[in-house]
Amino acid sequence: MESRPFLVAGRPRDAVEAFEVRSPWDEAIVARVARPGPGDVEDALREAHGAREAMRRLPAWRRAEILANVARRLEDEPDRWAETVVRESGKPWTAARGEVDRAASTLRASAAEATRDPGEIVPLDAAPGGEGRLGILRRFPLGVVACITPFNFPLNLVAHKIGPAVAAGCPFVLKPASKTPSSALDLAQAFVDAGTPPGAVSVLPLAGEAATALATDARVRVLSFTGSPEVGWDLKRRAVRQRVVLELGGNAGVMVDRGADLERAAARCVAGAFGQAGQSCVSVQRIYVHRDAFEPFLERLLARVRTLVVGDPMRPETQVGPLVTLSDARRVAAWIDEARASGARVLAGGSRRGAIVEPTVITGTRPELRICAREVFGPVAVVEPVGSAAEGIAAVDASEFGLQAGIFTPDLATALEAYESIEAGAVLVNEVPTWRSDPMPYGGTKGSGVGREGPRWAIEDYTEPRLLVLNR
């Protein structure tokens, strides 16, 4: 199998070194991709830095047209794009098709934002000495954006980085996950084909310190990173001259109040906990249920878990596929065993077959266990009873992470209390924290990161205000 080239300034480039991309399902080699070196990073940064003026001067209608054209490429061949996602990430086919649709939607939202100018008139005569002066405030592109994306949404999270960059008029250099590089390479090529200035488009599947060198280079004005907290916070410490946007995951909590629609709550918690094998930053991990509703909720939850179809991600009926690597599956299984050894009860699942971890429900845990305190990133949900809604809200908030949280309740006052008390980027009422609309502001607090995604909000991070003062 020949190695696939990466992109430097819109042009394919090969290298002596290459790495293999393997299917999480059967370990088959699905691609060989050339590995960039330091010289390739330097060339990409130099070209991106040089493309700033061309991108800034690209008219808004043209940026919107490019984004719409790329979105159409996804919409015209959704199965081809989905197959790449499935083969490289192990995501079930239905979820992969959904990701293609979402990526197209993200790009169309970016196209709409490209033609909106959020400028404003500033009344400078509000202070003495400002008489006769008028201020006009507009936002201008900051410059080169370094984007780093993870494996779990290899197409849509790339769209969330580079769509707003193009909409804002910024060149980008993208480092996709080495486990899932092909979607990013295909999407970037579509941007080149649609007419994006070539120097503004580079995709470098780097490893280790080479990625750090890219992110912290002085020519990079914005670093947008989605991935592990350890790597993200380390990059923020090093990227002292860049504006930094981090989305670092969580261990999302849900509160189910008495009087809630238990059928809906159970159905949504199963979808939120076990969709794409729990490999989502907002996957449902901790569920706290009012004691009065605990047994009937648990009965409904377990009944749905037992019907989940586990197996080959290419089969349309599969709902839970493999974890992205065997080592990840072993780690999740070890956390389950640790909880079991501490006295927790495994109510469903709990076993592993290769990279497949059975959908697992656990109760009787302690907050300090890794299965509760850390991000499991696997198909595991902890379910515990609480004595009151207030206790459940406090339990959801008792986490070092704060990405999204959910509460199922019929009571408006309880919903508002959750919104005001839970320190998270979003609190969803009668919905699980796994739900996301791509145009919405998405991001977290505490250990979950800084900044927001969603095209409008990302464009704010990729641009800076500039004031024009007119004097009579």
pLDDT in tens, 69-115: 999 999 999 999 999 999 999 999 999 999 999 999 999 999 999 99
Q: What is the mean pLDDT of residues 351-372?
A: 97
The bridge status of strand 133-141 relative to strand 463-471 is: antiparallel
Task: Spell out the residues 6+ positions from residue 127 whose beta carbon is closer than 8 angstroms to its own.
Answer: none
Q: Name the 3-class secondary structure at 202.
A: strand
The closest of 196, 157, 191 to 54, measured between CA atoms, is: 196
- Give the model confidence (pLDDT) of 423-471 as tens digits: 999 999 999 999 999 999 999 999 999 999 999 999 999 999 999 999 9
Average pLDDT over residues 293-311: 98
Cα(427)–Cα(67) distance, rounded to whole angstroms?
A: 31
Rounded mean pLDDT of 198-227? 95
What percent of the chain stands above pLDDT 90? Answer: 97
Give 135-149 as a DSSP string.
Answer: EEEEEEE-SEEEEE-
Residue 1 pLDDT: 80
Contacts of 92-99 with C-beta under 8 Å, sequence gap 24+, read: 92/276, 92/313, 92/315, 92/318, 92/319, 92/320, 92/321, 93/313, 93/314, 93/315, 93/316, 93/318, 94/316, 94/318, 94/319, 95/275, 95/276, 96/313, 99/153, 99/155, 99/156
Catalytic member of 147, 269, 281, 372: 281
What is the DSSP code (8-state) at residue 378? S
Q: Is 13 exposed, middle or buried (0-12, 13-18, 19+ CB in 10 A)?
A: middle
Q: Across-strand partners of 11?
A: 8
Out of 247, 358, 375, 460, which one is annotated catalytic?
247
| Banded pLDDT at 472 (limits 50, 70, 90) | confident
| Residue environment code for 197-222, b if the CB has 16+ CB neighbours within 10 A, otherwise e | bbbbbbbbbbeeebbbebbbbebbbb
pLDDT band at 208 (very low <50, low <70, confident <90, very high): confident
Which pLDDT belongs to residue 209? 87
∠ CA(382), CA(387), CA(390), 5° rounding? 90
Mean pLDDT across the stretch 412-423? 98
* 3-class secondary-structure state, position 11: strand
> Which residue reads 């909880």 in tokens?
339
What is the sign of the dihedral through the CA atoms of 365, 301, 154 and 102?
negative
What's the residue count for the chain? 472
Distance of CA 379 to the CA centre of its chain: 18
What secondary structure letter does DSSP report for 340?
H
Which residues, at least 6 apart from 356, have a Cβ–Cβ distance to it below 8 Å? 310, 311, 320, 321, 322, 323, 329
Establish how many alpha carbons lie within 13 A of residue 394's alpha carbon, considering only the half-sphere containing its beta carbon.
7
pLDDT for the residue numbered 173: 98
**Is 7 within 8 Å of 192 (Cβ atoms)?**
yes
Q: Is 170 a catalytic residue?
A: no
Q: Is 281 a catalytic residue?
A: yes
What band does 353 get if pLDDT is binned at 50, 70 and 90?
very high
State pTM to two decimals: 0.96
Cα separation, 351 vs 428, in Å, equals: 31
Residue 405 contacts residue 253 (beta carbons within 8 Å):
yes
DSSP string, 395-449: HHH-SSEESEEEEE-S-HHHHHHHHHHS-SSEEEETS-TT---TTS-B--EETTE
What's the whole-number mean pLDDT along residues 52-71?
A: 98
> Residue 362 and residue 215: Cα distance in Å, rounded?
39
Asked whether the predicted pLDDT for residue 143 surpasses 80, the reply is yes
